[in-house]
Amino acid sequence: MQITKTVENDKLILALEGRLDTLTAPLLEAEVVGKLDGVKTLVFDFQNLAYVSSAGLRILFMAQKVMSKQGQMVLRNVNSDINDIFKVTGFSNILTIE
C-alpha cells in the first residue's frame, strides 16, 4: 500500500493506494498515531484503495475516536466493495463517508 500525505493548514489528507490489510495497516498506523495534534479535519481518500480488512478497520476506528474529540474525519471516493464492508460491519454508522 502507498500513502500520499497532503497537509493544508489544519487539514490532513491521506490518499491510500492498494490494500489496507494486516500487512499494510502498520504503515497507516504509523502515519496516524500521535500525529494528529492540531489536525481539525482528517480526510482519507480511497480513490485507489481496493480492499480494507479488519486490521484496517481498527486503524480507521482509532483515528475516528481521536478526531471526534478535535474535529472531523471524512472518507472520500469509497468504492462499492469497501462501502459494503463498512455496511456489514456497522462502520457506515460511525464514519462520515462522502
> For residue 95, which of 67, 75, 76 has the smallest C-alpha distance?
75
- Cell 502515519, residue located: 31
Q: Which three cell numbers stand for residue 76?
A: 472520500
At residue 49, the pLDDT reads: 98
Q: What is the longest distance spanned by two Cα atoms in the chain? A: 35
Amino acid letter, 62: M
At residue 37, the pLDDT reads: 93
- Model pTM? 0.94
Q: Tell me the per-residue pLDDT of 3-22, one tens digit each, with 9 for 90 and over.
A: 999 999 999 999 999 999 99
Q: Tell me the per-residue pLDDT of 67-81, one tens digit each, with 9 for 90 and over.
A: 999 999 999 999 999
Q: Tell me the per-residue pLDDT of 17-50, one tens digit each, with 9 for 90 and over.
A: 999 999 999 999 999 988 999 999 999 999 999 9
Which parts of 1-98 are beta strand (E)?
2-8, 11-20, 41-52, 72-76, 96-97
